[in-house]
Structure formats: C-alpha cells, structure tokens
C-alpha cells in the first residue's frame, strides 16, 4: 500500500509538472520519485522474491514426496506360458497305462473304449497355457518417498538458500542506499548550480547598477572614461558568467531528472543544504561501518552460503536412507508376480563417482578462502573510505564556518567602496573587485555546504545508514510541513 501511494504521488507530480512553467521540488519528493521509478531497485526487489521462493522449495524437501504415476505401455508381444507339451505327455501316459491295464485283464477293452477314455481326459484336463501380460497394458500407481537421512544435504541446502535470500536482501539494500546517495548528490549538485546562478544573478544586477552609476558620474565628470569602460567590461563578464551558470543549472537538472525518473524543466530546488554543528569522531563511524556496511555483510553472507554448500557436498560421502511405499490403483493388468502394494526402506551409498564430489568440495573450500581475502581487503577499504569522507565532511564544515567572517568583511568593504565611488573617492576597479570578492565568498560557502552534504551522504552509505539519513530528511520535511 505504501509503495502504491509513492507511485501515485510520483505520477501526480509528473502530471503536475507539465501544467506549470516553474515548480518547487524538495529533496524528499526527489527521493520518493527515485525509489518508485528506479529500475534497479525494482529488479532487486524481484530478485528478493525469487530467493524467497527458492528457500520455500528447499524447505519442501524435508517433507515426503507423494505422487501418482500412470502409464500406457506397448511391448513387442504378449507374455504367456505354454505347457501343453507336458499336458499331452500326461494324457498320453494315462492312456498308455489304461491300455496296459485292460490288455492283461480278463476282459480286454476294445479300441473304442480306449479312445473314449482319451477323449474324456482331453476334456477333463484344462489347457496348460496362461497369458501373464498383454502386449498393451496400463499402470496407475500411488507412491510416497520420504528421505529419513541424507547426510545433512537437505538441511545444508535449506541454509544455503536462506543465505541466498539474505544476499538478495543485501543487494536490494545496497541498490537502495546507492540510489539515495546518488539522489542526494545530484539534488545538491543541482542546488549548488542554482545557488551559483542566483549569486551570479545578484552580481549581474549589482554590476548593472554600478554601470548605470558609472555612466552618470562620467557625464558629470566625476570619474574617468577608463572607469566607465571598466564597468562596461565588468558587465560583459558578469553577463557571460551568468549565462554559463544557466547552462550549468540546466545540465544539473537533466542529470537529476534521469536519476529520479521525472522530467524536469524549470524547477526551484527548495530544500536547503543540510548543516550540522559537529561531526563525531571517525572511530565512531568506523565501528558502525564494520557492523553495518552492506558490501561487507553481503560477502559474509556469501561465505556462509559457500560453507553450507560444502556441508551439502560432504553429505554425498554419507549414505542416504528413505522410506517408501507404493500402491497399485489400477489392478486389472497386474501379473501374478506383481504385488498390489509394497513398503520399505531404501539405503544408498555411492562408492565411486570419479572424484566429482571431492573436487566440488575443494572448489567451495577455495572460494571461502578467496572470500576471506576479499573481506580483509573490504575492511581496509572501509577504514580508508570512512577516513576520507569524514575528513571531507569535517573540512567542509570548517571551511563554511571560516567563510562567515569573510562574508561579513567583504559585504562591509563593498558597501564602503560603493559609497566612496558615488563620492568620487573610489575607482570602478575597486568596486568591481569588492563585488567579485563577495561573489567568490558566497560561491565558496555554497560549495562548502555542497561538499559537506555529499561527503556526509557517502559516509552514511559506507556505514550502511543511507536509509536512516533518508528517513531523517523525510521526517524533517514532514515536521516542517506541520
């Protein structure tokens, strides 16, 4: 339901953006749109669902397998047993004995009586042939097989699938964190371009005013033509810089549009740069990163999965025992030698498989050793990354704080030079230099705040806390709205 609301919000935002020439976009809105529209996040979510079904499938192997099997069969000829030669021999022997007995009796029997006796035997003794199987026969069997002992293979496979599910969850979280970091960086990069455009707009307005003042003072002879020309050159430079800042802003907005999946044209980025008074020590973030870093947790889950697969392979060296039962539902085509039902235990132990299982077991062992090396390297990289982004965030804050006094000084200098210029006591170059100094300080302040926000977002990403940072941003936004 929550995801549906986010998608609905993004759809409304996209539609609303086509109705107005300029609109406001908060960082919260940008984050929500990016999460709803990002194909990689959606793909990671689907992959997680796949892993959940694989885990259910693996757990299902703990239970008995009950099935019904039917078949229609055709053989080259029917199967039968023919003992009529033995029948003929029995009848012949009986007739011979009858003849011998009557031959030595007081009243020998005529041939007609012997023939009648033989005929009676032919009728009394049945045919000595039987059909056991027709050439076309049918089978319908209900059966159950329940593994009782598999050397731990089923349990190990279940644990391996559980680890795969954890890996897919890590991949989803990693993709989500990466998206959050990218949105924050792109949003504030566009915000920096917007601030630079606004600062250069202010500078351009001041230079236009300065040029007008220079022309007036030149007409009354209070300044030289060189001062007037210097003001005109400054105006041309300011115009060029302003136009460049407009193009930079357009490019930054295009990049932001691609990341959040919403077409942006003229937009006002209304979320200010985030600033905190104090960044905790680097060791504090290192401890969090060692516990929460998504890449590190992902590799640890992969190691656990490989160990479970090793256990499953090791189970191939042990016997398997299963209980089974079969019941013949269709009995019409059963032979004399086939029972209606059977139940029992089955045990199997592979003696020789050409070293297949041993090779696979050693391969998994080597992969675990490789992962251990990657984990060691990841810990070093995490340590370096935390130090880097912590230093950048701290340095950016210090830079911003140090520029506050510079801004006060440059503003005061600019006011003094403007007043002096109107009285003919300062040159145009001095006023323009003061304007440039103030512009430079304001740009550096915006750059410092941008550097801090990007470094802090990346620090949170390394620590696995990007979602906490996003929740804080959204929470702050909601509180402000209230």
Taking only the tens of pLDDT, the chain with its 482 residues reads 444 444 444 544 444 444 444 678 999 999 999 999 888 899 999 999 999 999 999 999 889 999 999 999 888 888 777 777 777 787 777 777 776 766 665 566 667 776 777 777 777 777 777 777 788 888 999 999 999 998 898 999 999 999 999 999 999 999 999 999 999 999 999 999 999 999 999 989 988 988 888 888 888 887 788 888 888 898 999 999 999 999 999 999 999 999 998 888 788 999 998 888 778 899 999 999 999 999 999 999 999 999 999 999 998 899 999 999 999 999 888 887 788 999 999 999 988 888 888 999 999 999 999 999 999 999 999 999 999 999 999 999 999 988 888 888 888 888 898 888 887 777 778 888 888 898 999 999 999 999 999 999 999 999 998 888 888 877 665 555 44
- For residue 474, what are the contacts with CB-CB under 8 A and spacing of at least 6? 28, 31, 32
Identify the pLDDT of residue 125.
Answer: 77
Identify the pLDDT of residue 17.
Answer: 45
Identify the pLDDT of residue 13.
Answer: 46
Burial 390-414 (b: 16+ CB within 10 A, else e): bebbbebbebbeebeebeeebeebb
Identify the pLDDT of residue 221.
Answer: 81
pTM: 0.75
- For residue 92, what are the contacts with CB-CB under 8 A and spacing of at least 6? none
Residue 195 CB coordination number (10 Å): 23
Identify the pLDDT of residue 372.
Answer: 94
Q: Which alpha helices (H) appear in 339-465, and where do they start and end? A: 356-422, 428-462
Of the candidates 54, 59, 286, the one whose C-alpha atom is nearest the C-alpha of residue 167 is: 54
Identify the pLDDT of residue 109.
Answer: 62
Alpha carbon 63 to chain centroid distance? 30
Identify the pLDDT of residue 220.
Answer: 82
The sign of the dihedral angle between the CA atoms of 236, 237, 240, 243 is negative
Identify the pLDDT of residue 252.
Answer: 94
Identify the pLDDT of residue 106.
Answer: 58
Tell me if 175 sits within 8 A of 44, measured CB to CB: yes
- For residue 464, what are the contacts with CB-CB under 8 A and spacing of at least 6? 173, 177, 288, 289, 291, 292, 293, 294, 297
Identify the pLDDT of residue 8.
Answer: 41
The DSSP bridge partners found for residue 102 are: none
Tell me if 217 sits within 8 A of 424, measured CB to CB: yes
Identify the pLDDT of residue 450.
Answer: 94
Identify the pLDDT of residue 15.
Answer: 44
Backbone angles phi, psi at 104, to 5 degrees: -100, 10
- For residue 376, what are the contacts with CB-CB under 8 A and spacing of at least 6? none
DSSP 324: E
Identify the pLDDT of residue 477.
Answer: 54
């Amino acid at each position: 339901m929550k995801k549906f609301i986010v998608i609905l919000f993004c759809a409304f935002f996209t539609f609303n953006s086509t109705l107005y020439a300029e609109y406001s976009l908060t960082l919260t809105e940008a984050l929500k749109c990016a999460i709803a529209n990002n194909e990689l996040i959606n793909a990671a979510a689907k992959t997680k669902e796949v892993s959940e079904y694989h885990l259910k499938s693996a757990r299902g192997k703990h239970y008995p397998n009950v099935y019904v099997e039917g078949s229609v069969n055709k053989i080259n000829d029917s199967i039968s047993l023919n003992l009529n030669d033995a029948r003929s021999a029995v009848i012949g022997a009986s007739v011979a004995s009858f003849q011998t007995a009557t031959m030595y009796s007081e009243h020998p029997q005529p041939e007609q009586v012997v023939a009648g006796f033989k005929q009676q035997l032919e009728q009394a003794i049945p045919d000595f042939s039987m059909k056991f199987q027709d050439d076309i026969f049918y089978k319908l069997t209900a059966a159950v097989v329940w593994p009782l002992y598999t050397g731990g293979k089923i349990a190990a496979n279940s644990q391996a699938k559980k680890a795969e599910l954890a890996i897919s969850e890590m991949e989803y979280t990693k993709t989500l964190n990466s998206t959050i970091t990218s949105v924050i960086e792109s949003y504030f990069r566009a915000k920096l371009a917007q601030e630079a455009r606004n600062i250069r707009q202010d500078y351009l307005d001041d230079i236009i005013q300065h040029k007008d003042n220079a022309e007036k003072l030149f007409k009354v002879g209070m300044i030289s033509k060189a001062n007037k020309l210097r003001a005109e050159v400054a105006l041309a430079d300011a115009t060029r810089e302003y136009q460049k800042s407009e193009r930079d802003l357009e490019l930054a907005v295009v990049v932001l549009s691609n990341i959040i999946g919403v077409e942006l044209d003229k937009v006002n980025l209304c979320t200010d740069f985030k600033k905190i008074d104090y960044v905790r020590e680097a060791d504090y973030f290192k401890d969090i990163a060692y516990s929460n870093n998504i890449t590190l947790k992902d590799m640890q889950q992969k190691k656990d999965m490989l160990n479970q697969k090793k256990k499953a392979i090791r189970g191939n060296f042990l016997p398997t025992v299963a209980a089974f039962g079969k019941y013949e539902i269709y009995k019409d085509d059963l032979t004399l030698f086939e029972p209606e039902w059977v139940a029992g235990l089955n045990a199997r132990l592979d003696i020789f498989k050409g070293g297949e299982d041993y090779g696979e077991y050693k391969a998994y062992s080597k992969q675990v050793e490789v992962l251990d090396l990657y984990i060691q390297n990841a810990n070093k990289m995490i340590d370096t990354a935390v130090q880097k982004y912590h230093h950048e965030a701290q340095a950016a804050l210090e830079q911003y704080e140090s520029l506050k006094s510079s801004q006060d000084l440059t503003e005061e200098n600019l006011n003094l030079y403007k007043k002096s210029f109107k009285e003919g006591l300062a040159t145009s170059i001095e006023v323009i230099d003061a304007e440039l100094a103030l512009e430079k300080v304001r740009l550096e302040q915006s750059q410092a705040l941008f550097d801090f926000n990007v470094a802090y977002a990346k620090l949170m990403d390394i620590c696995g806390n990007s979602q906490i940072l996003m929740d804080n941003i959204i929470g702050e936004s909601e509180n402000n709205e209230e």
